[in-house]
Each structure stands twice: as structure tokens, then as C-alpha cells.
């Protein structure tokens, strides 16, 4: 059956699936961000590892480049958190069906483990913490807390993304397409 001209011009089901994929990724990512922020607040409230503050270290490392562009520090922090979460959520949605694991939680765990490895091997040394924050002299605490921090986000992201899937969704998110040509 040929799609109608109106359906082709509006983007039809492909456009609808694409928008649903974006919406699902953003909602799941927002939920993961809330879990991450709750864990960070618990860390602050309990004074757990006060010397381990990756957000401040990243801000300090970037401050020479952003000296004139940071009039509202909390707004900058929130924007960086939301942008990172948004991009990771979209990436997760894009590769969800290709990740190992049968559940969203398992797939989220895999993403979190990969993210934690990148954090420990690339980001922490770049901000002066050394691999897995070993140069802070705090033992395994920072590495374990950073694993918990990343997994809090990723497990919730995976669970929510999976819960928002509908049975009729294909295994791959659709690509954005313009009007079809005959």
C-alpha cells in the first residue's frame, strides 16, 4: 500500500517514530539526571569524600576558557549537566537495541560501566585527579563513588527508556527524513 501524499509530506510514521525516540530519550535522561543529582546531594549532605569534587575541578580546568562567559555559575553548572545528560540520552536511545543485555537496566549498566571507564581513564587524568582519581590519595573511594554516580544515572536511564518503549517500535530508531519524493 502506497502512503498518501499527505502522509509523505508530513513525514508520516517515520517522523512520528523519530519524535517519539527523541522524546523517550530526553525523558529517560531527565529521570537519570534526577537520580544522579539525588546521589550528589546525598554526598554533599553526608560530607562523603568532600575532597572529591569533579564538578568543581572541571569548572576550574575550564575557567580560563570561560572567564568572561560565566556570570551565573549555578546556571552554567545546570546547563552542562542537562546538555551532557541530553546528549548521552540520545546516544543511549540510538544504541539501545544494540547494547548487550535483555532489560533496560542491564543495558543501562553496560552504558554506565563504559562511561565510568572513560571518566576514570580520560576525564580524571585531564583534570589532575590521575587515573580513577588515585592522585587524590583517598584510596578507592573516589573510583567507587564515581562508579555509583555514573550507574545511578545509567540504570535509571535504561529502566525508564525501556519502560517507555512500545511493542510496535522497531529495533532501530528512525532517521529524520524530509518529504518523500516520487
Question: What is the C-alpha to C-alpha distance for residues 108 and 114, in angstroms, rounded to an integer?
Answer: 10
88 CB neighbour count, 10 Å cutoff: 20
Contacts 24+ apart (CB under 8 A), 126-130: 126/61, 127/54, 127/57, 127/58, 127/60, 127/61, 128/57, 128/61, 129/54, 129/57
Q: For the whole model, what pTM was predicted?
A: 0.77
Q: Tell me, what's the pLDDT at 178?
A: 47
Q: What is the pLDDT of residue 162?
A: 96
pLDDT tens-place values along the chain, 182 residues long: 344 444 444 445 688 888 998 999 999 999 998 999 899 999 999 999 988 988 778 777 777 665 555 555 666 666 666 667 788 999 999 999 999 999 999 999 999 999 999 999 999 999 899 999 999 999 999 999 999 999 999 999 999 999 999 765 544 554 544 444 44
The pLDDT, as a whole number, for residue 5 is 46
Question: Residue 180's pLDDT is what?
Answer: 45
Amino acid at each position: 500500500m502506497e502512503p498518501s501524499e499527505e502522509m509523505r509530506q508530513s513525514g508520516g510514521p517515520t517522523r512520528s517514530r523519530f519524535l517519539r525516540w527523541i522524546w523517550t530519550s530526553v525523558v529517560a535522561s531527565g529521570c537519570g539526571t534526577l537520580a544522579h543529582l539525588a546521589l550528589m546531594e546525598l554526598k554533599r549532605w553526608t560530607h562523603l569524600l568532600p575532597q572529591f569534587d569533579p564538578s568543581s575541578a572541571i569548572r576550574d580546568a575550564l575557567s580560563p576558557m570561560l572567564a568572561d562567559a560565566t556570570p551565573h555559575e549555578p546556571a552554567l553548572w545546570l546547563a552542562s549537566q542537562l546538555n551532557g545528560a541530553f546528549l548521552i540520552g540520545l546516544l543511549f536511545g540510538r544504541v539501545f537495541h544494540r547494547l548487550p543485555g535483555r532489560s533496560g537496566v542491564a543495558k543501562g549498566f553496560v552504558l554506565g560501566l563504559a562511561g565510568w571507564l572513560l571518566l576514570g581513564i580520560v576525564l580524571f587524568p585531564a583534570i589532575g585527579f590521575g587515573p580513577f582519581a588515585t592522585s587524590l590519595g583517598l584510596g578507592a573511594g573516589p573510583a567507587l563513588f564515581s562508579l555509583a554516580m555514573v550507574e545511578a544515572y545509567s540504570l535509571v536511564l535504561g529502566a525508564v527508556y525501556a519502560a517507555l518503549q512500545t511493542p510496535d517500535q522497531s529495533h532501530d530508531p528512525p532517521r529524520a527524513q524530509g518529504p518523500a519524493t516520487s
